Amino acid sequence: MNREIHRHQNRPLPQLHVGHGSHHGALSIFPLWVDSPRVTGLDWKASSIRTAEREGSPVVSELVLHNSTARPAVALEGDLLKGGWQDRMLARSLLLEPFEARVAEVFCVEAGRWGARSVETQGAHEASGRRSALSVRRGNAGGGDGDGERGGSQQSAVWQRISRFENTLGATASSSMLDHLDRSAPLEARPLDGQRGVIIGIGGRVMGAELFGNTAGLRSRWQGILAAAALDAQLAPQRRTTAHDARVFTRHLQGVTLEDGGDAGLARAVRSQQGRLRASGIVNTNAHTNTSAPTASIIHLTAFDDAHPLLENA
């Protein structure tokens, strides 16, 4: 198995194609198509993974994930988990074996609560495909934010980033990222046929992108991605991001080489840092995939432009 895994190190990205963008105030979204075979056989439904606090004494930075299905289940960095002793965000992407249970690293996205809202919800979380804002997820890529941030300091940075919504948009009862998302109006947009990724432009500049192994993966998180991007857009000036900027970002992303980042359950973590462009995600390590293929078999990848004002000042 290790021989199969390490063949996936240092792979370039497959060819990416950018479509026409749509604009919603400060938010611009551009569809992406990925020129590589689809990753199949995975369960993308966020609700297929049951989430619970650690038995005995709950831990802020850890939750137990349990795959309730007979297929490998995808848990994505940035997925929001509502309930338990406090709302959390997954810190790393994982591919869980069928019926596997494992402890996962998380960040608190609700600084003002530590304790169950009710007896019925004290141990469980609701997972529905909602995503945290890119500006809050900044430190997730590559196990840190590129300047030595780790552990407790990384959790403090997450709270600090959420506090920008508190200060600008008005405080919530418990400083919860989910409460800020609930306040935002839903964005009406649909993914296009065959679309497997999206570029997010905010305030006239590309902020980042997400790529998926197939269209089902993108659709499973689509509304969550849009809602989170619209929330970030409320902190930015009302400027459109141009198609030229989206294509330039894509060319830079196309040029990165993904390096091995360690175990991610049945998948393998990958990451890249090239100048201001930073990416992280997971790739397929199934023995049945074509390991002689020249490009990475991406399950999910997030890319950031660290020079974007909402990231540079985070």
pLDDT in tens, 26-43: 999 999 999 999 999 999
Whether 314 shows a pLDDT value over 70: the answer reads: no
pLDDT mean over 72-85: 96
In this prediction, residue 224 carries a pLDDT of 97
Whether 67 shows a pLDDT value over 60: the answer reads: yes
Pick from 12-16, 235-239, 290-294: least confident: 290-294
pLDDT mean over 280-303: 75
Pick from 124-138, 240-254, 275-289: least confident: 275-289
The residue with tokens 């199969």 is: 4
- Tell me the backbone φ, ψ of residue 31, rounded to 5 degrees: -75, 150
Binned at pLDDT 50, 70 and 90, residue 138 comes out as confident
pLDDT mean over 128-152: 72
Pick from 11-25, 63-77, 108-122, 297-311: least confident: 108-122
Which pair of structure tokens corresponds to residue 174?
A: 């418990």
Whether 303 shows a pLDDT value over 50: the answer reads: yes
DSSP H or E stretch at residue 4: helix 2-6
Alpha-carbon distance values, 274 to 52, 140, 146, 200, 301 (Å): 37, 16, 11, 19, 15
pLDDT mean over 67-95: 96
Whole-angstrom distance, CA of residue 305 vs CA of residue 163 = 21
The residue with tokens 């993966």 is: 217
**pLDDT tens, position by position, 182-232:** 998 888 899 999 999 999 999 999 999 999 999 999 999 999 999 999 999
**pLDDT tens, position by position, 258-291:** 999 999 999 999 999 999 999 999 999 864 444 4
